[in-house]
């Protein structure tokens, strides 16, 4: 199992549009691609990314294949209308919180 760990900050003044996009389009697309979203965290204090999203997939090769698709790129290009400092990585799934 592999875990996709994504982080970003919501752009000031874009919060409502961000939440609409993420809940109605972004998360459903991630699920349709085969990722199982397991956790979402919000930083309320400290110098860390505002949002951390975790999603798992059975295999690293399958995850890498999806992350290389045009569909993945377009999905994240749209997300960049609402967020800054978008970053993601794949890590072995260990369960629970991972950063």
pLDDT for the residue 2: 96
Kindly provide the b/e burial profile for residues 20-50, where b requires at least 16 CB atoms within 10 angstroms of the residue's own CB: ebbeeebbeebeebebebeeeeeeeeeeebe
- The residues near 73 (Cβ < 8 Å, ≥ 6 apart) are none
The CATH number fitting domain 2-92, selected from 2.40.30.20, 3.30.70.100, 3.40.1620.10, 3.50.50.60:
3.30.70.100
pLDDT for the residue 15: 96
pLDDT for the residue 44: 87
Each residue's pLDDT tens digit in the chain (99 positions)?
A: 999 999 999 999 999 999 999 999 999 999 999 999 999 999 988 889 999 999 999 999 999 999 999 999 999 999 999 999 999 999 988 766 545
CB distance 6 to 86 below 8 Å:
yes
């Amino acid at each position: 199992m592999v875990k996709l760990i994504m982080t970003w900050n919501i752009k000031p003044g874009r919060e409502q549009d961000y939440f609409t996009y993420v809940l109605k389009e972004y998360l459903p697309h991630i699920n349709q691609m085969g990722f199982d979203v397991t956790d979402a965290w919000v930083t309320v204090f400290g110098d860390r990314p505002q949002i951390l999203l975790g999603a798992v997939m059975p295999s690293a090769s399958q995850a890498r294949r999806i992350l290389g698709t045009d569909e993945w790129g377009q999905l994240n290009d749209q997300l960049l209308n609402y967020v800054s400092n978008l970053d993601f990585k794949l890590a072995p799934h260990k369960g629970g919180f991972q950063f």
